[in-house]
């Protein structure tokens, strides 16, 4: 101790029992599913639609401006899955059900002169 001083650091000698503490925790679980998944055209139908759009924009270019008849056939029968894939991406990407979790823990401490708030949360 220094002469004439009761404590070296007066603010650091608090006891935990004199502090007011509040703690809070929350945990939620839910399940979701898409409301509506649109019915999409397959690759052969999409190629045919693209050809029709191009034909109506420029009739002089002919019927098969974007995709040839052979391309449309390969999209339809799946004979060339790498070059002419026919993937239903909504079925491949979206799950019929998915879970969601949310956790939250917080602590509030109030010593005599200052307030502290600590919070941890997770959402996945």
Query: DSSP secondary-structure letter at 81?
Result: T
Q: Are strands 20-32 and 116-123 parallel, antiparallel or unpaired?
A: unpaired
Six token digits for residue 43: 């690759």
User: 13 pLDDT band (50/70/90 cuts)?
Assistant: very low
The phi, psi pair for 24, rounded to 5°, reads -150, 135
Q: Which pLDDT value is given to residue 17?
A: 56
Encode pLDDT of 51-95 as tens digits. 999 999 999 988 888 999 999 999 999 999 999 999 988 888 888
Helix ranges restricted to H, the chain: 43-57, 69-77, 89-93
Q: Give the range among 24-38, 41-55, 68-82 with minimum mean pLDDT.
A: 24-38
């Amino acid at each position: 101790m220094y002469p004439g001083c009761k404590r070296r650091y007066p603010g650091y000698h608090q006891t935990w029992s004199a502090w007011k503490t509040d703690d809070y925790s929350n945990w939620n679980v839910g399940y979701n599913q898409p409301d509506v998944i649109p019915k999409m055209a397959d690759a052969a139908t999409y190629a045919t639609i693209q050809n029709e759009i191009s034909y109506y924009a420029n009739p002089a270019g002919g019927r098969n401006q974007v995709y040839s008849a052979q391309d449309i056939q390969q999209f339809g029968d799946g004979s060339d899955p790498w070059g002419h894939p026919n993937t239903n991406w909504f079925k491949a990407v979206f799950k019929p059900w998915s879970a969601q979790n949310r956790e939250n823990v917080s602590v509030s401490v109030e010593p005599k002169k200052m307030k502290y708030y600590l919070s941890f949360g997770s959402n996945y």
